[in-house]
Amino acid sequence: MIEFVIFFFFAAVAVIFALVVILHRNAVVGALSLVASFFALAVMYVLLDAPFLAALQVIVYAGAIMVLFLFVIMLLNLGHRREDPTHPVQQFLGFTGAAAFAIAMIYYLAKYAAFRMLPAGPFLSDARSIGVALFESYIFPFEMVSILLLAAIVGALLMSGRAMGQRANIGAEVNR
């Protein structure tokens, strides 16, 4: 009973803050709302007996990624400028795309996911079992992802390095 109340409360929190993210015009408010939404999602993981995933959800998404988002938004210092109205074609494509996705989602959930009982028995998601799974069964995809991330880091370094080089050249010209 208590779990039900907690579930519906935090489900509502997650949905409401997710709506604020897309509807609010201020980017900082949007970013903070996304954090709140992630936090409510973490509560869902706790309700599913997966505290490890809940902690990781908060550490990785709310604590690391969204801090960087907020950081960039604050550094860009976006004003309270109103955006230009979008083109009707854009609006049409946006609405139809979203509607099609929603219909597909509801169809999928109704057909495959809903009303199916969860497997009985203990659901193991502690650090040890996840670590063993990652480093035994899924070692190849795991290492592949790490190479992908490395490529992204090298790419970012290359791009920022090139930009810094250009700036140094501009500075040299101004000095001349």
User: Which residues here bind another protein, judged by CB under 8 A?
Assistant: 26, 28-29, 32, 35, 42, 51-52, 54-56, 58-59, 62-64, 67-68, 70-71, 74-75, 126-127
Q: Which residues contact 31 (CB under 8 A, 6 or more apart)?
A: 21, 66, 69, 70, 73
Residue 100 vs 149, nearer CB to another protein: 149
Smallest distance, another protein to C-beta of residue 28, A: 6
What amino acid occupies position 20?
V
Residue 14 vs 32, nearer CB to another protein: 32
Residue 60 vs 100, nearer CB to another protein: 60
Per DSSP, the three-state class of 103 is helix
Return the ∠ at Cα 61 (arms to 59 and 62), rounded to 5°. 70
Smallest distance, another protein to C-beta of residue 127, A: 6
Smallest distance, another protein to C-beta of residue 126, A: 6
How far apart are the C-alpha atoms of 106 and 83, rounded to whole Å?
32
C-beta separation of 64 from 88 below 8 A: no
What amino acid occupies position 68?
L
Smallest distance, another protein to C-beta of residue 128, A: 9
Residue 76 vs 113, nearer CB to another protein: 76
Smallest distance, another protein to C-beta of residue 2, A: 10
Residue 64 vs 93, nearer CB to another protein: 64
Q: Tell which residue, 39, 30, 34, has the closest CA to residue 10.
A: 39
Residue 11 vs 36, nearer CB to another protein: 36
Per DSSP, the three-state class of 81 is coil
Look at the chain and count its residues: 176
Q: Tell which residue, 28, 24, 36, has the closest CA to residue 62.
A: 36
Smallest distance, another protein to C-beta of residue 158, A: 18
